Amino acid sequence: MNSPAHQRMDRTMTSRRTIARTLPLLPAALAAFPSTASAAGGGETALVVTGLLTAVVAVLLFYVVFVLEGNIDPAAERLRKAWAYIAARKRADERELDEDFDGIRELDNPSPPWFNYLFVGTIIFAAIYMLDYHVLGGSPLSVEEYRREVAEADVLRRVALAAEGTVDEAQLAALTDAEALKAGKEKYDRNCVSCHGAAGQGIVGPNLTDARWIHGGGVRNVYLTIKNGVPAKGMIAWKLVLTPKEMQQVASYVLSLQGTNPPGAKAPEGEVWVEPKAAAAPDSTKAI
Ligand code: HEC
């Protein structure tokens, strides 16, 4: 009764039964995959996920039907063993050490293998990381990443400046149209209020509403002071932040504050500025 031929027949019978049981489920499974995938993200991702899942199902199907001939028991047993190995060794209560202190028993409770793999994995990762980042220099360190980003931003800034055009500093005129002054006020409110006050009355920086100027009045001098800043006194060179057009706007706005006499104004500093005669050459002592 237990001849190899019988065994083979037995197995074939089981196989047929397994296939008969599983096959009806497959179309449903296949139909379910695309819908879950498209719910997950839509578009290309869904397409890739659907393709991958379909391929996995097809390979599994092929394996079960043609390689295992429908009998999935051996494969399931192998999977179970592999999992048992990865998940945990013998249960602690099955592995007792020879120690017994007045009824207190010491158990051999080893850390599970997956934990050890993780630990070894971190060491391998660290070695690869160090080789890549610090020895071979294949990937950029943070400093290098920062430098690249700054260089990229600089290029973008230059492009933006070039697109906007420069202002002719020798022929600079104060803008008076409402739109330019509004744009200037926006820049002023964002960048200058902390030192010069909301109304230009002066806080750390000098009062901008009076007739006296430390670095010269008139649109050209004010523009150049804004552009180059007074680094020694804490006023940065705004050419690093604002475009020429924006500096012209904000200079025009500053000049529009002349004589407004806001409350709590700082005492005037510097010299009273007298606009030179129209024919006079532009102030050449101011560094550009
Ligand atoms: C961190 C503080 C600070 C900020 C922000 C700042 N300034 Fe100044 N600013 C100063 C100081 C301080 C001085 C005086 C420099 C000196 O004494 O030589 C000054 C001087 C000036 C002057 C010359 C005044 C004069 O009497 O000649 C102008 C014009 C000016 N700032 C405009 C601006 C504008 C416009 C902004 C915004 C885009 C701005 N400042 C932002 C601190 C600042």
Residue 162 lies in a domain: no
Query: Of 86, 114, 138, which one is at a domain's C-terminal end?
Result: 86
Q: What is the tens place of the pLDDT at every residue in 188-202?
A: 999 999 999 999 999
State whether the beta carbon of 180 lies less than 6 angstroms from ligand 1: no
Query: Of 52, 86, 120, which one is at a domain's C-terminal end?
Result: 86
User: Whose Cα sits closest to atom 41 in ligand 1?
Assistant: 192
- Are the C-beta atoms of residues 193 and 201 closer than 8 Å to each other? no
The CA 174 to ligand 1 mean position distance, Å, reads: 18
Whether pLDDT at 76 is above 90: no
* Residue 278, both tokens: 């129209």
Chain-centroid distance of CA 257 in Å reads 41
For the stretch 89-93, contacts whose Cβ atoms lie closer than 8 Å and that sit 24 or more positions apart, written own/partner, are 89/113
Residue 167 lies in a domain: no
84: pLDDT confidence band, cut at 50, 70 and 90?
A: confident
Residue 78 lies in a domain: yes
The CA 270 to ligand 1 mean position distance, Å, reads: 13
Whether pLDDT at 124 is above 50: yes
Residue 240 half-sphere exposure toward CB, CA atoms < 13 A: 7
For the stretch 11-20, contacts whose Cβ atoms lie closer than 8 Å and that sit 24 or more positions apart, written own/partner, are 11/69, 11/71, 12/69, 14/70, 14/71, 14/73, 15/68, 15/69, 15/70, 15/71, 16/70, 18/70, 18/71, 18/72, 19/64, 19/65, 19/70
- Which ligand 1 atom sits nearest the alpha carbon of residue 213? 26
State whether the beta carbon of 72 lies less than 6 angstroms from ligand 1: no
Instruction: Give the CATH number of the domain where residue 247 resides.
Output: 1.10.760.10
Whether pLDDT at 157 is above 70: yes
Residue 113 lies in a domain: no
Residue 138 lies in a domain: no
The CA 101 to ligand 1 mean position distance, Å, reads: 81
Which range marks the domain in which residue 235 is found? Answer: 172-272
How far is it, in rounded angstroms, from Cα 245 to Cα 167? 6
State whether the beta carbon of 224 lies less than 6 angstroms from ligand 1: no
Q: What is the tens place of the pLDDT at every residue in 13-49?
A: 555 565 566 666 666 666 665 555 455 445 788 889 9
